Structure 1
Amino acid sequence: MKFLHTTLLCWALCGTTLATGMAAPAEASPKPRKEYRRGLEAITRRNAEASLRFLASDEMGGRLAGSVEGRIAGQYIRSELEQMGYSQQITEQPFTGRKGEALRNILVKIPGRDTTRQVIVGAHYDHEGRRDGRVFPGADDNASGVTVLLELARAASATRTQPEHTLILAFWDGEERGLQGSRHYVSRLGADTARIDCYINFDMVGRNTDEARPRLFRYFYTSAKPELKTWYAESVKAGGLTEVEADFRPCDRTIGGSDNTPFARAGIPIAWYHTDGHPDYNTPNDTPDRINYPKLLDIARSSWYLIWRMAYVE
């Protein structure tokens, strides 16, 4: 995640509105079904904190793309997904990095009853590795996003039902080296871009940019798809969320340094949960003990509602 570059460019193109965590839902919101509730209950701090602490541990060496630790991070993700029951739905998309590194995206495809429409949800699992002998653990950037995505995989598994539209969970490699994983994926979509209803991105979703407002986060979304804002408001009520306060950033175009960019440039609507910058960004101090876990979990719960609306009932 290249925070400063992303923020300056995105904000220059986006409007800004604020909503508290208790924003009123739209009247047309459907009554949540038991499948949605099962998914919501599957999102837990115990699993989330275990994943984040492992991925951002010193032993993981900062998960540099193409490194041994980067490959271990990918294997850990795959192992977690297999334990959730996704063994037959996991694929790997190998590609070569700009410096000849062997990189791989890890994908879970949950076919819908209607396979002509897709919702893609993604986060990158690489970080900066080591510099001058010091580990850059990347707890917020982006073990936090991977953790949310793993919790969403648990939620989807817990529904015990097939979605109406195909759901793809994507763990990207090589983001810190130029969005390589997501660019590679989008470049091979071709005409399939028309099938994608939305791409939801998680990159840096675990910290506070303003300690006086610990619930605050930035919610970027394609302005041509205003229901994304409505569904966020609905998600707060449906999930009983108390730890999030959205700063809405509607965008006609999204330019910046995260994996939403290739999708937006291909004309695919996006939503991006992002808790913004902090003094520990891209330093050895981006550690698991500084994560705001209640906010991270409510971000996961909010996005689960968006997924439920788009992939399961919409």
Structure 2
Amino acid sequence: MQTRRVFLKTLLGLGAIILPWSLLPTRFGESMKEWLGHPPVELLLPPPIKTTNPINVQSLNRTAIDDILTLTAPEMQGRKAGSVGEAKAAEYLASQLSMLGLKPMGDTGTEFTHAFTFPPVIEGRVNGRLTFRPGENTDLRTPSVNLLGGLMGEKLQEIILLSAHYDHLGIFEGKVYPGANDNASGVGCVLDVMRRILREGKSPKRTIVIAFWSAEEMGFVGSEAFVRSSPFPLQQIKAVLNADTVGNGMIGNFALWADGENTALKAISQAAAECGASALLVSKAGHNSDSVSFAAANIPAITFMSHDWLTKNHTPDDTIALIKPEQITLAAEILYRAVHTLAF
């Protein structure tokens, strides 16, 4: 009974994002909340999402550090996919996409969410790092969501995808794994790039879609689900720039994962050189990120990260103290220049 109640509470948390509450009578929504019980944190039902929204100046002036602080706050509970903390993070990101006036690019074209499910996982440490491996029971699946918003370009059928995963590891053995570098840092940089483009008021030639994946820590499940059931044709995507753990290490020392030379790799490498930074293609050494889902579909993709990304990775010490603001600023600048090259 306790397990069932916890699952229902989690489902409610995700329902605050997934269910189209704007289409349901308020009284019915409140009745559903009472029937399912109250989750550990207060959930706010998002307002009805319109296809076009006015830009909120307050959101436009937020910074990547603001986003990192929000995503690593105690109420986010480490943002484990399928948890109430992840639902709170998704709610925050959906609100940012809406306040930036981006076009919803999710399942129906009127919302930012792209829903999927993932099977059970088993938590454990490998070389001191908390990791997930597939569980035995594949019948019960947990709901989760990706989030997608677009800045429409002159060429609507050509898309540059700028992405980062927003989930992390949650709570394990009583300790919160905040995931400041992995990967609140990437999320903050992606939002920073879009805010800068909007402040400049330029219209891109190609459409720019920013995507926040979930369940990356379960094995890139969110991005793989997107590739399997994208709300728009995959052939429209001309390049994927994926930011993951970009906020630590020596200032200006970055690394890239890609399956050989492609347009995304060239754009990032050129941007890094213009900024006097290093962004070299390195061996994955058994690791990977969401760019792998697109590479498997023959879409040019790279993952952009700090060269020292493994430092304190998947530990409770991945906190805001690990983040170097100068590195975040430089990472956002490199991503901005790469997007500008590809989309403008």
AA aligned opposite 2:180: A
The TM-score normalised by the length of structure 2 is 0.69
C-alpha spacing 1:219/1:169, structure 2 compared with 1 (3 Å): same
- 1:122 corresponds to: 163
User: Unmatched 5+ residue regions in structure 2?
Assistant: 1-58, 106-110, 121-140
AA aligned opposite 2:260: S
- 1:216 corresponds to: 253
- 2:278 corresponds to: 245
SS in 1 for 2:178: coil
- 2:213 corresponds to: 172
1:80 to 96, 108, 111: 96
User: Displacement of 1:193 after TM fit?
Assistant: 2.9
- Let me know the Cα RMSD of the aligned residues: 2.7
- 1:35 corresponds to: none
SS in 1 for 2:63: helix
CA contact (8 A) 1:107 1:170 kept: yes
Structure with larger Rg: 2
CA contact (8 A) 1:43 1:301 kept: no
CA contact (8 A) 1:85 1:157 kept: no
**Residue 94 in 1 paired to residue 78 in 2?**
no
User: Unmatched 5+ residue regions in structure 1?
Assistant: 1-41
Calculate percent identity across the aligned residue pairs: 29
C-alpha spacing 1:67/1:220, structure 2 compared with 1 (3 Å): same
2:337 to 305, 311, 314: 305
SS in 2 for 1:170: strand
User: Displacement of 1:135 after TM fit?
Assistant: 0.3
Q: Please show how residues 128-207 of structure 1 align to structure 2 within 5 Å.
A: 128-189=169-230, 192-207=233-248
Whole-Å Cα distance in 2 between the matches of residues 139 and 281 of structure 1? Answer: 10
Flag as ranges the 4+ runs of structure 1 deviating above 4 A.
87-90, 253-256
CA contact (8 A) 1:141 1:204 kept: yes
Equivalent residues, number = 260
**Residue 229 in 1 paired to residue 266 in 2?**
yes
- 1:288 corresponds to: 320
CA contact (8 A) 1:207 1:278 kept: no
User: Displacement of 1:148 after TM fit?
Assistant: 0.8
CA contact (8 A) 2:246 2:305 kept: yes
The TM-score normalised by the length of structure 1 is 0.75
CA contact (8 A) 2:246 2:309 kept: no
Structure with bigger RCO (C-alpha 8 Å, 6+ apart): 1
Whole-Å Cα distance in 2 between the matches of residues 139 and 282 of structure 1? Answer: 10
CA deviations over 1:150-202 (Å, ceiling 9, x no partner): 11221232232332112111001111111111000111249933322111101
CA contact (8 A) 1:66 1:101 kept: yes
User: Displacement of 1:43 after TM fit?
Assistant: 9.5
C-alpha spacing 1:279/1:224, structure 2 compared with 1 (3 Å): closer
CA contact (8 A) 1:254 1:264 kept: no
SS in 1 for 2:298: coil
Whole-Å Cα distance in 1 between the matches of residues 227 and 95 of structure 2? Answer: 25
SS in 2 for 1:257: coil
CA contact (8 A) 1:255 1:261 kept: no
User: Displacement of 1:304 after TM fit?
Assistant: 0.8
- 1:50 corresponds to: 66
